[in-house]
Amino acid sequence: MQRKPIASCMKTPSSTHSVASTVPIAPSSRDSLPVLMLGAIGVVYGDIGTSPLYALKESFIGPHPIAVDRLHIFGVLSLIFWSLMFIVTLKYVVVAMRADNRGEGGSFALLALMSRHLANGRWTASITLLGVLAASLFYGDAMLTPAISVLSAVEGLTIVEDSLAPMVLPISVAILIALFLIQSRGTAKVGALFGPVVLVYFATLAALGVTNIANRPDIMGILSPWWAVEFFRHDPRLAFLAMGSIFLAVTGAETLYADMGHFGRRAIGISWLTLVYPCLMLNYMGQGALLLVSPAAVENPFYLMAPDWARLPLVFLATAATIIASQAVISGAFSVTHQAVQLGFLPRLHTLHTSEKAVGQIYIPAINWALLAMVLILVLGFGESTRLASAYGISVVGTMLITTVMLGFLIFKVWHWNRWMATATVGGFLMIDIAYFASNITKIPDGGWFPLMVAAALFTALTTWATGRRLMRERLEETAMPLKVFIESAGSAHRVRGTAVFLSASPDTIPSALLHNLKHNQVMHERVLILTVVVEELPFVEMANRLEVHDAGDGFHRVILHYGFMEEIDIPRELANIEGIGARFDLMTTSFFLGRQKLIPSKEQPGMALWRERLFAWMTKSSESAMESFKIPTNRVIELGSQLQI
């Protein structure tokens, strides 16, 4: 049975913020809107929901302190309100969430969507690099979010009792270690509690805000943009510098778009407009009202809003919320890594699937322990949330700026909006993102260098792996033989019973393992499958389009398996359903032949710098074998090695 190719075999990376793996991959049509909204509240809004713990405090006592008076309180809160309005509501809920790739959102989906429309265009390479850079920046966010969230929550103990200050770091470290230790168990059971816990947390935010607003109802005036303008008019330099801390109120906004495939645009948008946004602003205004009455409360306005008896329970609730926010971004790191592997920008990594129902629930040990190590370094190295806040934000705003640029290409080149409307929309978003990016750059000496250093290292690794794979394919193709020519030249070879499956990176030529097998063993199986796995620029591929079979004659068959970049590859499972190759496929009479190249870096071959070639060779050696990654039984595998100069 033959099928036409369903799509281009282009492997384009992208990135972005988390695609949290705590829920099923896509919203079921049977799920009611309230159920989807509850799930969205628990997973999507954990990150942005914990911002009130530190955003307003850092705006006043951060790297660039400002006076705690009426003008500055109103100015900062007005900037927070309108930043949330323009960045979250307009940019993400109204515009970005329209750019879905078969229901999936996030920078991966956005880049894949654009790749289909701008394939091989002059901007393709630049857009691809932007996607890789956004992925690199995301990992900095994945390290900083657990560190600053948990640390800022536990610091509430010092408000309850000053003598507990020495316990903040040990307790934070213990919570973070426990959080990473349970990742291998999966998040299905914990995830079921996320929605209700975060719902209680948001209700508490609103209640604390309302009780303090009652003391100074004039704080409602911050809804007027006049106060933001007045803040800049009064002291433009200080207002610009303060934007770096004010931006902390917006961190987590990218998650709305990234998790769209889990809950749907409608559930996420309605949750934001009817619950999350109002609760956040009520809390921020409550903190502002408290500062108007008691400027000294700026040391920690979030906890000081609560009466004495409620502060310890509030610490426990806030800590639970920060754990949930951290869990979402950790799961997102696993998901982004899995997609990067599928799209060819990272070597294969050992991946465990922790749920039989939710395909997206995965656990990658190497990423888990690397994140834990970096988070502990951050917590112990910076010591307090105020110092961590200086490092936080620059990676997030970088990702948001890249998303805006990619949305601009989509609006102009794919959607073909009216030129004036497109220019006003994209120009407005760019102006806001660039302003926040420029302000966050000033935080580099105070800690902002850390996420940039991480992003630079990861960008180097991602691009080195992608370039190295391309060079390796080119070297292999130089000596590769077309299948038709091979069949004609090897017709006299002795045939043995059974099926041989040879994995091939190219769908047009024979793999080197087939040549080596014939050369050394001087036999061929009576049925030979040349198998190529193609990862499409789609999140999922329908089962009807999964398998593509071509009969090449003389017992040879070309088989192509199509997967989406969010799917798990399982070759034996797919071959069990194959048709059009004669007798039914039997795993027990099948041998899988895998080629393993030993890479030799060389100055003689034009390619990458020698140090990058050595890095690529090390990454290749460290990667998980195709046998494990593709679920091939170990007792059915034969590996044939060769040397390759790159």
pLDDT (0 to 100) of residue 193: 62
- Given a cut of 80, is residue 307 above it in pLDDT? yes
Pick from 8-22, 144-158, 281-295, 553-567 the range whose average pLDDT is largest.
281-295
Q: Give the residue from 261, 459, 241 showing the smallest Cα distance to 346.
A: 459
Q: How confident is the model at residue 10 (pLDDT cuts 50, 70, 90)?
A: very low
Give the pLDDT mean for 146-160.
92
Give the pLDDT mean for 542-546.
89
Residue percentage of the chain with pLDDT more than 70: 91
pLDDT (0 to 100) of residue 593: 92
> Distance between CA 467 and CA 465 in Å, rounded?
6
Q: How confident is the model at residue 172 (pLDDT cuts 50, 70, 90)?
A: very high
Domains of the chain are 33-447 (1.20.1740), 474-645 (no CATH)
For residue 609, the 8-state DSSP code is -
pLDDT (0 to 100) of residue 22: 35
- Given a cut of 80, is residue 261 above it in pLDDT? no
pLDDT (0 to 100) of residue 615: 92
- Given a cut of 90, is residue 627 above it in pLDDT? no
pLDDT (0 to 100) of residue 106: 73
**Token duo for residue 563:** 């997967």
169/2: higher pLDDT: 169
Give the pLDDT mean for 511-521.
86
Give the pLDDT mean for 455-464.
93
Per residue in 196-248, pLDDT tens? Answer: 888 999 999 999 999 999 999 999 999 999 999 999 999 999 999 999 999 99
Residue type, 306: A
Pick from 19-28, 160-169, 283-292, 445-454 the range whose average pLDDT is largest.
283-292
CA distances from 443 to 11, 439, 454, 600 (A): 36, 8, 16, 42
**Token duo for residue 461:** 């690794």
Q: Give the residue from 447, 403, 395 showing the smallest Cα distance to 139.
A: 395
Please list, in sequence order, all residues whose beta carbon lies within 8 angstroms of the beta carbon of residue 452, skipping any fewer than 6 positions away.
140, 394, 395, 444
pLDDT (0 to 100) of residue 553: 87
Give the pLDDT mean for 505-516.
83
Q: How confident is the model at residue 191 (pLDDT cuts 50, 70, 90)?
A: low
Query: Contact, 574 vs 545, CB < 8 A?
Result: no
Per residue in 353-383, pLDDT tens? Answer: 765 555 556 788 999 999 999 999 999 999 8
For residue 415, the 8-state DSSP code is S
- Given a cut of 80, is residue 493 above it in pLDDT? yes
Lowest-pLDDT range, 345-349, 354-358, 544-548? 354-358
pLDDT (0 to 100) of residue 521: 85
pLDDT (0 to 100) of residue 1: 37
Residue percentage of the chain with pLDDT more than 90: 46
Please give the backbone phi and psi of residue 214, each rounded to the nearest 5 degrees, phi first. Answer: -60, -30
122/379: higher pLDDT: 379
Burial of 286 (0-12, 13-18, 19+ CB in 10 A): buried
Give the pLDDT mean for 627-632.
86
| Tokens 């993400």 found at | 92
135/293: higher pLDDT: 293
Lowest-pLDDT range, 130-139, 274-283, 327-336, 548-557? 327-336
The three-class DSSP label of residue 495 is strand
> Distance between CA 401 and CA 399 in Å, rounded?
5
Give the pLDDT mean for 606-629.
85
Q: Which H helix or E strand runs over 408?
A: helix 394-409
Length, in residues, of the chain:
646
> Distance between CA 399 and CA 133 in Å, rounded?
8
Tell me what the pLDDT averaged over the chain comes to: 85
In this structure, the number of other CB atoms found within 10 A of the CB of residue 4 comes to 6
> Distance between CA 550 and CA 449 in Å, rounded?
53
How much is the pTM?
Answer: 0.82
Give the pLDDT mean for 505-515.
83
Per residue in 422-440, pLDDT tens? Answer: 999 999 999 999 999 999 9
Q: How confident is the model at residue 126 (pLDDT cuts 50, 70, 90)?
A: confident
pLDDT (0 to 100) of residue 571: 93
Query: Contact, 514 vs 502, CB < 8 A?
Result: yes
Per residue in 71-111, pLDDT tens? Answer: 999 999 999 999 999 999 999 999 998 887 777 777 767 77
pLDDT (0 to 100) of residue 544: 87
pLDDT (0 to 100) of residue 3: 37
Give the pLDDT mean for 527-541.
88
pLDDT (0 to 100) of residue 34: 84
Query: Contact, 538 vs 9, CB < 8 A?
Result: no
- Given a cut of 90, is residue 297 above it in pLDDT? yes
- Given a cut of 70, is residue 290 above it in pLDDT? yes
pLDDT (0 to 100) of residue 8: 32
pLDDT (0 to 100) of residue 138: 85
Please list, in sequence order, all residues whose beta carbon lies within 8 angstroms of the beta carbon of residue 25, skipping any fewer than 6 positions away.
261, 262, 358, 359, 360, 540, 566
